[in-house]
Structure 1
């Protein structure tokens, strides 16, 4: 059974951007597109009175949102298999449940009810932090959302949280015909003067000059090791490897400015039900200038 690409819709401008992006993505992958709208109208309105045929306005609005978004996606890609439904539950529950049987979840960066100036909607943040499938939050500039750069940025962290993200990035690049710009951030602690086998025998000044290169080389080696299997499985994908000094969240925000998508991993610990989202993913979801994919990795 082919898993669908699922997009959450609520009628907001951000949600419509997510529909457009998801329709393009589903068309690229040849996947069915499923649109879901969460509505709590049944909980508040109850059953329709038997003495009238009038339907609650919330029900009518919910069905209109779902149907109009489906029509928008179908017009954008007539060949797509598109379905839509209204589910009487809160948005987080609807999306997390849908994500258990989907290729990925797509959301906008803000919903209809979010406060003006909010960096990221609470629904998108919670879903990205808890879903068992990849979550793409559509944000950033028009060119980034339209995949105009032919470049995906992959943040390579520790091997414990990144292998699923690496596989996702290379598969995405293969389908798109894009390059993967794989980035590993590194930092040299200012207080570190000794302890590196290659620098212990050097004078203090020489240690301070050589030690950063040791950290950079180590980052480069970790980067190569993390990409080896995926690069071998996708020989046609162009890969650019970069070990960059600086805080990881800042390095990736800079790299994402002219990217179509930035991809990071997120460790999901078994039995932990809170928000499971690292600092880097959190910063990207709030500030990146392109869509952000958070790919879960089971511990």
Structure 2
């Protein structure tokens, strides 16, 4: 089987929206889907009596089966498997990332712009997965309603090639354009603008030959990266950013920019591991 798209399913509306996006991506890329539900309560020999455990397993499997039938109604030819994992949801998805082409998760939580809008499981997966992670945020539209535009955050640092290529391949499959966005975070001189624009063009130059049908709009912004990406998400199908793996057990393991974008983007965010 080709590397699948793994979707975290927990019964929430956020997970079903993530499934909408994952199934749409799978159809365009010709990939199978694996629906995963993880819970430590499913582990045999725990505190739950055997009879109750069997009922719980049946209940959680029914949840996965319902999600599978929903996706098949939308995309009858889609190859979909289900998987119950006897571990916490974050670990189940991170473990699955070793074999996956993409992991899709929904966002959870309540609060305003300064509040915590993104759930702990999603943060854990986004910070530690070995493959790209699509986080479908609360305000995200349905895939069919998404604007024909993919926003790519470009820092101009080594190791971003994977994120750049992912964004162009996704735009190509959607018939969309790419907005290559580099944020400087303050006023800059005309000379600096020329230099920043040249570096931005160089960062995406190799993609025009591989994806000749994808139009590219380079944008150098005087906003901070957080502000520029969140504002651009208003008119985007996806925001794509690189994510350098971190091993910190405390703090914002994703970095300040990605953390802010995940919390406040108006469209799904895809984090692509960088080298």
TM-score relative to the length of structure 1: 0.84
Q: Root-mean-square deviation (CA), in Å? A: 1.9
Map 1:79-228 → 2, pairs under 5 A: 79-110=77-108, 116-117=110-111, 118-141=116-139, 143=141, 145-188=143-186, 212-228=189-205
- Going from structure 1 to structure 2, the CA distance change for 1:120 and 1:91 (only over 3 Å counts) comes to same
Equivalent residue number for residue 29 of structure 2: 29
Who wins on radius of gyration, i.e. which is larger? 1
Match of 1:283 among 255, 260, 263: 260
Is the 1:136–1:293 contact (alpha carbons within 8 Å) kept by the matching residues of 2?
yes
Is the 2:140–2:268 contact (alpha carbons within 8 Å) kept by the matching residues of 1?
no
User: C-alpha separation between the residues in 2 aligned to 1:42 and 1:70?
Assistant: 20
Match of 2:220 among 220, 234, 243: 243
- Alignment size in residue pairs: 267
Where in structure 2 are there 5+ consecutive unaligned residues? Answer: none
User: C-alpha separation between the residues in 2 aligned to 1:215 and 1:94?
Assistant: 46
Equivalent residue number for residue 15 of structure 2: 15
Equivalent residue number for residue 50 of structure 2: 48
- Going from structure 1 to structure 2, the CA distance change for 1:82 and 1:132 (only over 3 Å counts) comes to same
Is the 1:266–1:276 contact (alpha carbons within 8 Å) kept by the matching residues of 2?
no
- Going from structure 1 to structure 2, the CA distance change for 1:37 and 1:25 (only over 3 Å counts) comes to same
Alpha-carbon deviations, 1:221-248, whole Å to 9, x = none? Answer: 1111100112221111111111111111
Q: CA deviation at 1:152?
A: 0.6
Q: CA deviation at 1:215?
A: 2.1
Q: CA deviation at 1:266?
A: 1.1
User: C-alpha separation between the residues in 1 aligned to 2:140 and 2:100?
Assistant: 26
Alpha-carbon deviations, 1:118-149, whole Å to 9, x = none? Answer: 40000001111111110000114353644531
Comparing 71-80 and 231-240, the one that deviates more: 231-240
Is the 1:138–1:292 contact (alpha carbons within 8 Å) kept by the matching residues of 2?
yes
User: What secondary structure does 2:69 align onto?
Assistant: helix
Where in structure 1 are there 5+ consecutive unaligned residues? Answer: 190-210
User: C-alpha separation between the residues in 1 aligned to 2:222 and 2:199?
Assistant: 14
Q: CA deviation at 1:14?
A: 0.4
